[in-house]
């Protein structure tokens, strides 16, 4: 009863919130969820909130069991089969088991975060956005990426404006494909390679990003889509990654606008011998 909960709150450090408007923010900041296995399950998993769950209705039981078997949550049973003492013992144990909580947190986000993109693609197969697909780069993409790297505008907006030889590129490309701290993606528009998006993990925990679009595909709004999709793909694999940054030459107005459209925001400027660069950041 509400009156009983309010009495508990007065006599303890508990805070009771009834239908709070910022429910998603509260879940994102929380360390552990204890409650029913209803539709809040999918919000929890997306936000990386580990759950200790009981089923309060028969239609929740099978899903709760399956998710527990997959390592996505801890299922105690139905409300008519689990006691208060059972719940208390399990909760006391799990709050001290940070490795398990972290494992559940990461697996949940990795599993569920791709769902919105996949759902939209299935609902709107002919939409403009579904025409752009993104995949991890393969050896067969080498020639396309070399041509894109040596294209005039791409070189002009790079820190290193010198052309790259085929041998230099192949050595670099081979190393990048094997680098566990790098992900190189190729965008395809209507099945044709149209650009690349790269993410490099930095020692400070941030993820450095860059994008390039082939000349014949510019002006279609693909750059911002490729940035957004690339960050989604990367975070699906590394759900703990929250900060993405980009350093873009001040004169590269088009690229700056593309990153801003993908929700990046300017945080500072840096300067070197090649010019002034905007530093933009996306915090998820």
Query: 164 with 146: CB under 8 angstroms?
Result: yes
Q: What's residue 118's pLDDT? A: 62
Q: What is the pTM of this model?
A: 0.58
Which residue matches tokens 């750059």? 223
Lowest mean pLDDT among 23-37, 87-101, 146-160: 23-37
Can you tell me the mean pLDDT for 176-187? 95
> Alpha-carbon distance 131 to 125, whole Å?
8
Q: What is the DSSP letter of 30?
A: -
Confidence of residue 77 (pLDDT cuts 50, 70, 90): very high
Q: What's residue 155's pLDDT? A: 93
Give 254-274 pLDDT, tens digit per residue: 999 999 999 999 999 999 888
Confidence of residue 48 (pLDDT cuts 50, 70, 90): confident
Mean pLDDT of the chain: 89
Element (H, E) at 175: helix 166-178
Confidence of residue 125 (pLDDT cuts 50, 70, 90): low
Structure token pair of residue 225: 């889509």
> Alpha-carbon distance 11 to 121, whole Å?
51
């Amino acid at each position: 009863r509400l009156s009983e909960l309010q009495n508990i709150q007065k006599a303890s450090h508990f805070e009771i919130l009834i239908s709070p408007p910022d429910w998603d923010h509260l879940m994102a900041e929380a360390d552990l969820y204890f409650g029913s296995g209803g539709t809040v399950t999918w919000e929890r998993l997306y936000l990386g909130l580990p759950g200790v769950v009981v089923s309060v209705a028969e239609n929740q039981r099978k899903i709760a069991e399956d998710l527990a078997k997959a390592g996505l949550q801890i299922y105690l049973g139905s409300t008519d089969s689990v006691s208060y003492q059972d719940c208390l013992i399990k909760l006391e144990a799990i709050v001290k088991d940070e490795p398990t909580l972290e494992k559940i947190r990461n697996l949940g986000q990795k599993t569920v975060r791709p769902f919105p993109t996949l759902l939209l693609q299935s609902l709107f197969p002919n939409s403009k956005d579904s025409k752009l697909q993104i995949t991890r780069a393969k050896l067969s993409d080498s020639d396309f990426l070399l041509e894109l790297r040596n294209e005039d505008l791409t070189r002009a907006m790079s820190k290193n404006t010198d052309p790259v030889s085929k041998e230099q590129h192949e050595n670099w490309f081979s190393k990048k494909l094997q680098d566990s701290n790098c992900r190189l993606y190729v965008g395809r528009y209507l099945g044709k390679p149209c650009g690349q998006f790269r993410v490099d993990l930095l020692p400070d925990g941030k993820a450095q990003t860059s994008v390039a679009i082939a000349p014949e595909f510019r002006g279609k709004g693909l750059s911002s889509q490729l940035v957004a999709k690339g960050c989604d793909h990367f975070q699906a694999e590394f759900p703990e990654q929250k900060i993405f940054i980009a350093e873009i030459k001040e004169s590269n107005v088009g690229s700056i606008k593309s990153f801003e459209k993908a929700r990046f925001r300017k945080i500072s400027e840096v300067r070197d011998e090649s010019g002034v660069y905007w530093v933009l950041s996306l915090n998820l």
